[in-house]
A and B are shown apart, each in its own frame.
Chain A
Amino acid sequence: MTRERSKVPALFRPRSVIQAYDELSSVLRRTDLSDHAREENRTQAFLATFAAMEGVLREDMDGRLAAPANDVLTGRLRLLSNRARAKKADVSIDDILDAWRLQFTQFAHEIGKLRQYVEYRNWLAHGRCISRPRSGQPMDPHRVADISRRIASLIPTWPGI
């Protein structure tokens, strides 16, 4: 399912958001805040960085599905996309992360770490109104940003994206 993204201003593009939240969380870490405010900032930075990382991966998926490539990752994403289309659904972020683990096996551990936090991200994004998942605390936003940048460095530039 290809989404319209070309009208999104550069400042709100996923890669810019990752950079911005990484800088912001460094500054706020040094500011005199209550423990609660500091924790809440960490949580929000995690949520925003994770969402931006998802945006990077979904942009890449759109690029791959539009290209004639036949590599491991593209083949897996085509399968996921075909399955999702049959169910009239989107490809889940868990499945996209697994597809990346299959292609970049040397980063399987780090990508797997991100995958463990999907449930936690969902809990935050849906207003924390269901029982808290076992993954507990947010992953350090700097760590999410680091992994996201490593993933982004593996992504080619897709025409029109």
Chain B
Amino acid sequence: MSTMKTLMERLEAQKSEGSPHRALWEEAVRQLVDNVRAWLKVPEQRGLLQIDEQPLELSEPGLGTCRVPGLTITTETQTIWMRPLGVEKTLAGEAFRVEIWSTDAGFTLLYLTDGEWVLHDDSESPDDWPVVDENQFEKIMVKLVEA
């Protein structure tokens, strides 16, 4: 009687091949979401906005299913969504893409292999893409809220 041994070995091998990258992307998105929540803590505590986190499953070729969070930020006049879009080839190589947008403005954040989230801008070279730190994120949020 077949025990599916060969099939299981192949599936196990595929699973372990995908997991190092998957763990990297999952951790990177988790870190970004944690940073955003920390940066927005004061306005949230003052009741100026509300942050809701959604656990998501993202199917990616070669990676299997990534478990990554998304955010919905609600202000008095705007809803802002932050959602993972997946792995993409960019001018700077393979990157994990996250979109953040309201109905009038939107931005693309990329996680490159050097371990930093950057703000993607088509008009500039990858070296000029700004790192998404607290100051940069505040600029993004101001544009999203003003839109």
A78 to B81, CA, bound (A): 13
B50 at the interface (CB under 8 A from A): no
Main secondary structure of the interface of A (DSSP, over half): helix
A76 to B70, CA, bound (A): 14
Q: In whole Å, how far is A122's beta carbon from the nearest beta carbon of chain B?
A: 19
Residues of B within 8 A of A70 (CB): 79
Q: Is the CB of A75 within 8 A of B103?
A: yes
| A interface residues, how many (CB within 8 angstroms) | 18
Residues of B within 8 A of A83 (CB): 106
With beta carbons under 8 angstroms apart, the residue of A75, A79, A102, A108 that contacts B59 is A108
Residues of A within 8 A of B106 (CB): 76, 79, 83
Main secondary structure of the interface of B (DSSP, over half): strand
Q: Is the CB of A82 within 8 A of B104?
A: yes
B42 at the interface (CB under 8 A from A): no
Known: A72-B81, A75-B79, A112-B86. A105 touches B59 (CB 8 A): yes
B30 at the interface (CB under 8 A from A): no
A109 at the interface (CB under 8 A from B): yes
Known: A98-B85, A101-B85, A108-B86. A76 touches B58 (CB 8 A): no
Q: Is the CB of B104 within 8 A of A108?
A: no
Q: In whole Å, how far is A143's beta carbon from the nearest beta carbon of chain B?
A: 14
Q: In whole Å, how far is B82's beta carbon from the nearest beta carbon of chain A?
A: 10
A112 to B58, CA, bound (A): 11
Q: In whole Å, how far is A68's beta carbon from the nearest beta carbon of chain B?
A: 12
Other 8 A-B pairs with CB < 8 A, given A72-B83, A79-B105, A82-B103:
A75-B103, A76-B106, A79-B101, A82-B104, A83-B106, A98-B99, A105-B57, A112-B86
